[in-house]
Amino acid sequence: MARDTWYRLDNVGKFYSSQAGSSAQTVFRYAATVVDEIDPAALQSALEKTVAIFPGFNVCLRSGMFWHYLEPATVTPTVQPENLPICFGLHVDAKSVLFRVSYYRDRINLEVSHMVSDGRGTLGFFKALIYAYVEERYGVHDVPCEYDGSDFQKSENSFDKYYERDKAASTPTPKVYRISGWRDVADPTFIEYHLPASRVLELARSCNVSLTSLVIAAIICAIRAEMPRRERQRAIRLDVPVDLRKFFKSATTKNFFGLAFVSYVPGDEDEPVEAVAVQVQAQIKEATQAEQLKPRMNRMIALEKNPLLRLAPLFVKDAVLEFADWLASRETTTTVSSLGKIAFDERIAPYIRDLGVMTSSTGINFILSTFGDDFCIGISTAYSNPDVIKNLCRYFTGVGIEGRININKTSEEVAEDRLETKLETSVRQLGGQAPARDESDASDKVVANRKNTDTAKEVGA
């Protein structure tokens, strides 16, 4: 990419650009806890080095007559002490840079707009930033950047390159269960749930499934436990983003992912997590075949390729794309992304204690990642009711795997959410909408630690 020009959004980035300026922007967050307090000067130097390698991140969103587009930012990005809510919207106006780097005590945070990149593309930037910081802070030199693609490869629109109009196909959609309850989109809850990776992997292998399949099954069962009986013939349907770079020859840092879907209809029986995991494994194995992913990829961008829409003015495009995104969200219960194992050079890894990855959400989302023996489930939820998350934690505690939690809310804020949930439950009971729910079960607990308050809490208390 030329450093002094504009360039097009990728096809999926155009969907996310319709969120520009709104409170519902999709933002990724990578966070690394390191061994010492952050040195701001070293982090600033590392950021400048990283942006020189990945210029496509240091951009602003501009608007033309027919499409949004990106321009390089005119100012050098600066690191800031963390002073904004997690995954706070990045786009305010035409001067807004679509990523930010912040720090708090021993923690480095990178937040990136989905207009610019997806989770895997952002990971390349994040790792380069950590490498550069460790070099500046601790004098660890001559560790090469793992990403060695050219500027052209970084900015390639791989959706366009591999799109085949005549091979687009829709995915049959069952009647989908949608989680109900009060939501506070302006004040979501963000949680990092850390578990020993070796223990979770051992459990998955004992079930003859992958770690991802086991965790997805645990999430399904956590949701199932909160379903009203009258809804149990509906499918709990999860979309699972799949990195397409490994299926196609692509080194782009822009968005390039497909979607696999996992559906489970609970019915009247409560199958154990292990049995559900076997079904999940079979569905994921089939859905992540190249011949399954490519038609879905073509379908994802077919609307943006529609000739009539391409001729429409920008405000019409934004409205249509936003509505299409809303319709798509109605076809799923939740999203579970898996980044797999995140590895660092052996000279860099000793300086990192743990990692966490999350994304903004207007519902509930999960991102799975592993660093060393630390398995992290990044959870973002706009729901006041924490019971799905409690059920997930109780499953792992019940099989003898203890975890710890980082949460972005104080004890008072958590108590306020619980009060809203109890009020909601009371209202539903008065309307004959829901059975009574036992709110007193606090038998399964995990240690919780909020980085910004150092407050210990008990999940489920």
User: In whole angstroms, what is the distance from residue 33 CA to residue 355 CA?
Assistant: 6
User: In whole angstroms, what is the distance from residue 356 CA to residue 33 CA?
Assistant: 9
Give the mean pLDDT of the chain. 87
pLDDT above 90 (res 121): yes
Name the residue with higher pLDDT: 331 or 325: 331
The two structure tokens encoding residue 78: 């600066």
3 state SS of 184: coil
Domains of the chain in sequence order: 7-165 (3.30.559.10), 174-339+361-458 (3.30.559.10)
350 Cβ contact list (under 8 Å, min separation 6): 35
- pLDDT at residue 311 in the model: 81
Identify the band that residue 153 occupies on the pLDDT scale cut at 50, 70 and 90.
confident
306 Cβ contact list (under 8 Å, min separation 6): none
pLDDT digits (tens, 9 = 90+) for 248-285: 989 999 999 999 999 999 999 899 999 999 999 999 99
- pLDDT at residue 438 in the model: 39
- pLDDT at residue 1 in the model: 44
- Residue 166, exposed/middle/buried by CB under 10 A (0-12, 13-18, 19+)? exposed
User: In whole angstroms, what is the distance from residue 57 CA to residue 100 CA?
Assistant: 10
Contact 158, 254 (CB under 8 A): yes
pLDDT above 90 (res 419): no
Looking only at the bridges linking them, the beta strands covering 257-264 and 236-243 are: antiparallel
User: From residue 183, how far is each of 148, 189, 333, 363, 410 by CA, in Å?
Assistant: 43, 10, 15, 8, 18
225 Cβ contact list (under 8 Å, min separation 6): 387, 388, 391
User: In whole angstroms, what is the distance from residue 459 CA to residue 461 CA?
Assistant: 6
Identify the band that residue 65 occupies on the pLDDT scale cut at 50, 70 and 90.
confident
Name the residue with higher pLDDT: 326 or 42: 42
Contact 78, 103 (CB under 8 A): no
- pLDDT at residue 454 in the model: 35
* Side chain identity at residue 213, one-letter code: S
User: In whole angstroms, what is the distance from residue 213 CA to residue 281 CA?
Assistant: 5
Looking only at the bridges linking them, the beta strands covering 334-341 and 364-371 are: parallel
342 φ, ψ to 5°? -100, 115
- pLDDT at residue 292 in the model: 87
Mean pLDDT across 395-416 = 89
Contact 393, 207 (CB under 8 A): no
Q: Which residues are registered as beta bridge partners of 72?
A: 59
User: In whole angstroms, what is the distance from residue 375 CA to residue 356 CA?
Assistant: 9
The dihedral region occupied by 87, where left means phi > 0, alpha psi between -120 and 50, and beta the remainder, is: left
pLDDT digits (tens, 9 = 90+) for 180-208: 998 988 889 999 999 999 999 999 999 99
Mean pLDDT across 405-425 = 75
Say what the pTM is.
0.88
6 Cβ contact list (under 8 Å, min separation 6): 62, 69, 70, 71
Looking only at the bridges linking them, the beta strands covering 334-341 and 352-359 are: unpaired
- pLDDT at residue 423 in the model: 67
Q: Helix and strand tally (H, E) in the chain?
A: 13, 17
- pLDDT at residue 430 in the model: 62
pLDDT above 60 (res 317): yes
